[in-house]
Amino acid sequence: MLELQNVGFRYGRGQDILREVSFRLQRGAFSFLTGPSGAGKTTLLRLLFLALRPTSGRIHLFGEDVTRLPRTALPPVRRRVGVVFQEFRLLDHLTTFDNVALPLRVQGQGPADYSRDVMDLLDWVGLKKQAHAYPPVLSGGEKQRAAIARAVIAKPELLLADEPTGNVDPVLARRLIHLFAELNRLGTTVLLATHDQGLFKQVRAPVLHLQDGTLRTL
Amino acid sequence: MADRKPGPVIPREAASLRTMTATMAVMCYLACLAIGALILINRAVDNWARGLSQEVTVQVREIEARDIDADVSAVISLLKETPGVTGAEDIGREAAEKLLEPWLGSEGLDALPVPRIIRVAVDQARPPDFESLAADLKQVSPGASLDTHRRWEDELTRMAGTLTALSVLILLLISGSAVAMVIFATRAVLDANRQTVDVLHLVGAEDAYIARAINRRFLATGLWSGGLGVLLALLTFFILGNAGLPQADGLASASRSLFYVPGASVWLVPLALLSVPVVGTMLALVTSRITLLRMLRTLP
């Protein structure tokens, strides 16, 4: 499903953000990615959802070498990956409903095709009543759930989440972790970047620890 | 929910597009004025050239020891017998003197040997053979010469060509400025919506999808501004044609004649003006799409 071989990354001529990072996630795996702030977690996730290209090493995704994939070949790969951003990255001019439906819209589906699925998912994450609300009026937790709903609406094979519980209270954090576990049970491979060591107790999963740009498995 | 129209993926309110609407409207307005001028020039030159080619002139100069009146009579008789000539008329010494007045003044013209002018109407469909007519006239009267107005026609054609080229150049400059402005506006829209474009890319949107979404904004902007430009131009022609300003009399009749000329197609001007928003919008769409696809290719 996902394999990194000696991946290194730096911005321009700056210092290395990631060094010789290698790991593999099997299909259907659930893993945590942890490490102190500035360790390179977000950079690593950005490499995985192909927003950045490594300066060295190779990345294999869905059995394909995506290290130097041409731009035109990126959209089909990205459609198989769901991403929950740390800062949510919801579009403020679209309603919660339209934000969640976005991955399906860009695939060419119309409201008649996706309305029911979107509403069911909004119901599942507890945002049915906020379907018509715009992101600026949502609370941090609601935005987080909307971002998660958008990441999973197209049933991605791989779900990457960057601090998905960073803005919510412990009760909601537990609910969200159960939501990820449920998605994983349904077949989605999940890699969850977090500081929150308390989450490791809720889901038994391998923990990848990133420190000073190098990775080790706990 | 299924019936609800989804919101636009690129927000409607883009300040740079509002600026573009106003500037494009001015460009379309100027383009309409240039087209109006182009049509007027061509019509006027056609009319003048038609008038000139319907008539030729014969001048009979006074020659010593010859009776000029007899020469004029002989020339008129010859002209009337010539196939292709439909009429010949001596305009008279007084009228000939009047023609010289602007250059020589009215004093002392009596003493000058003013040539006699014979106005000759010709059948445009079957004009006479001017070369042999000129030779025949010399036979009848050594002081007679034929002026076919060819020089004036050539001058007019040259002037019309210059004015037409100037109008076309103005249209090209307006189009060039419009293209530059659309490129600038496209960049501004893309920069202003960079976050949105990034998110669209990350959820799997292709460049063509994003370009289409942004292009829709330019379609609306192009049509709006083009329509506004045409309306303003029509209003200008209407005001010029009906304001009754004595100092702009020629402009007024020109503006009126733009929309109604006996025998000319009534649709020519409206169609030419309506082509402005259509061409403007097409220009905006093609330019913004090319710019967008180029810019999107540089993004991660």
pLDDT tens digits, one per residue of B154-185? 887 888 888 888 888 998 998 898 888 888 88
Asked if residue B223 has pLDDT above 70, the reply is yes
Residue A206 lies inside a defined structural domain of this protein: yes
Residue B55 lies inside a defined structural domain of this protein: no
DSSP type of residue A132: T
Contact B292, B190 (CB under 8 A): yes
Residues B180 and B229 placed together within one structural domain of the fold: yes
Total count of domains within chain A: 1
Instruction: List chain A residues with CB under 8 Å of B198.
Output: 51, 89
Which of A27-36, A74-83, A198-207, B194-203 has the weakest average pLDDT? A198-207
Residues B168 and B242 placed together within one structural domain of the fold: yes
The interface pTM score, or ipTM, of the predicted complex is: 0.89
Task: Kindly list the distances between the CA atom of residue A126 and the CA atoms of A3, A119, A148, A175, A192, in Å, as whole numbers in the listed order.
Answer: 34, 10, 12, 10, 21
Residues B135 and B157 placed together within one structural domain of the fold: no
Residues B227 and B277 placed together within one structural domain of the fold: yes
Q: What is the pLDDT of residue B264?
A: 60
Residue A177 lies inside a defined structural domain of this protein: no
Contact of B11 with chain A, judged by CB distance below 8 Å, is answered with: yes
Residue B45 lies inside a defined structural domain of this protein: yes
Positive or negative: CA dihedral B240, B243, B248, B253: positive
Residues B233 and B91 placed together within one structural domain of the fold: no
Residues B120 and B180 placed together within one structural domain of the fold: no
Residues B69 and B23 placed together within one structural domain of the fold: no
Partner residue opposite B204 with nearest CB, options A78, A97, A112: A78
Contact of A49 with chain B, judged by CB distance below 8 Å, is answered with: yes
Residues B191 and B284 placed together within one structural domain of the fold: yes
Boundaries of domain holding A26: 1-73+183-218
Minimal C-alpha gap between B13 and chain A (Å): 10
Asked if residue A68 has pLDDT above 90, the reply is no
Total count of domains within chain B: 2
For B62-69, which contacts have Cβ atoms below 8 Å and span 24 or more sequence positions?
Answer: B62/B113, B62/B115, B62/B143, B63/B142, B63/B143, B66/B141, B66/B142, B66/B143, B68/B116, B68/B143
Contact of B204 with chain A, judged by CB distance below 8 Å, is answered with: yes
Residue A172 lies inside a defined structural domain of this protein: no
Nearest to A62 by CA among A8, A25, A107: A25
Q: Which of B90, B117, B142 is the last residue of a domain?
A: B142
Is the CB of B203 less than 8 angstroms away from the CB of A106?
yes
Which of A59-63, A114-118, B4-8, B228-232 has the weakest average pLDDT? B4-8
More confident residue, A112 or B217: A112
Is the CB of B202 less than 8 angstroms away from the CB of A83?
yes
Boundaries of domain holding B75: 62-142
Residues B163 and B280 placed together within one structural domain of the fold: yes
Is the CB of B205 less than 8 angstroms away from the CB of A97?
no
Is the CB of B203 less than 8 angstroms away from the CB of A78?
yes
CATH of the domain at A60: 3.40.50.300
Residues B216 and B127 placed together within one structural domain of the fold: no
The distance from CA B82 to its chain's CA centroid, rounded to whole angstroms, is: 38
Q: Which chain A residues in 72-91 lie under 8 Å from chain B, judged by CB atoms?
A: 72, 74-76, 78-79, 83, 89, 91
Residue A204 lies inside a defined structural domain of this protein: yes
Residues B75 and B175 placed together within one structural domain of the fold: no
Is the CB of A93 less than 8 angstroms away from the CB of B8?
yes
Most confident stretch, A73-82, A205-214, B62-71, B93-102:
A73-82
Residue B170 lies inside a defined structural domain of this protein: yes
Residue B257 lies inside a defined structural domain of this protein: yes
CA dist A143 and A146 (Å) reads 5
Residues B165 and B285 placed together within one structural domain of the fold: yes
Q: Which chain A residues in 114-153 lie under 8 Å from chain B, judged by CB atoms?
A: 115-116, 118-119, 131, 150
Residue A170 lies inside a defined structural domain of this protein: no
Most A-contacting residue of B203, B207, B297 (CB-CB within 10 A), to test interface: B203
Residue B216 lies inside a defined structural domain of this protein: yes
Residue A159 lies inside a defined structural domain of this protein: no
